Each structure stands twice: as structure tokens, then as C-alpha cells.
Structure 1
């Protein structure tokens, strides 16, 4: 042991290293405990209760009949946009 270093000065780095090891160990245990559990029924894990249930079927298709003037306007718009190439 060097003459100019006290026992407490030698003990300080050892205590800090031990505290760091304990902190890292506790952090790893904490992070492992937070990990969500996988459900055996669903491969995606547990469902989130805040999200609404998804539909099992697609929504009904909607269709609107256009008037002849609207059809002509749409055809003119298509021609106008097609000329921009």
C-alpha cells in the first residue's frame, strides 16, 4: 500500500465499483420485469384495452351517381391532368 494514500482513499473506488455493479444488476432485473408476457393464444401479445375493437368485416361500399354535368367536368379534369405529362 502506498504511503501517501489512506485506507479510505483506497476503499473509495472499491465501494464505487461495487455500487455500480449493484445498480446495473438492479436495472437489468427491473427491465426484465417490465417486459410484456406473450399470450399463448395470440402471437402478438396481450391486447391493448385503450384501443377499440377492430371490425371483422369490411365497411359497406358507398356509391354516388354523378349528374351528366359532373361527369363532363370530371372528364375535362382528367384530360387536363393527362396533358401535363
Structure 2
């Protein structure tokens, strides 16, 4: 035991380390399972099944006018110019 660390802190650290280890093992198993799942030839790689695809409802999207699209494209060009 470390003399400057309380028993409760050592228990907390052990619990956090075990939780981190369990999370890492679960993540590795999920990635390996999805990577080795059979796919039809020529199919695009699959996303993880645990991460749902984001779908925007029609009520949350708007059509841009040509002027708005051009202004947005100009803004993107300006922001990416330094990269």
C-alpha cells in the first residue's frame, strides 16, 4: 500500500481501471466481430452495428437558394484557404 493514498482512493482507482479494461475489451470484440462478418463481394465496408445511422427528418432541413449555396461555398473556400 502507498502510505500517502487512502484505501478508498486505491479501491476507486482499481474500479476505474477495471471499468476501462472492460470497455476496451468490449470495443475490440465489437470491432473484430463487425470486421469479420461475411459481406457480399464488392460491398462497401459496414459501419458498426452499435452506432446508429443519423437520419435528419424533413422538418429539420431546408432548401437553400442558389445565392445561399454560393455564399456558403465562398465561406468554405475562405475558411479552408489556410489549410
Q: Quick check: TM above 0.5? A: no
Bin the TM-score by the shorter chain.
Answer: 0.3 to 0.5
TM-score by length of 2: 0.39
Q: Which has the higher helix share?
A: 2
**Highest CA radius of gyration, 1 or 2?**
1
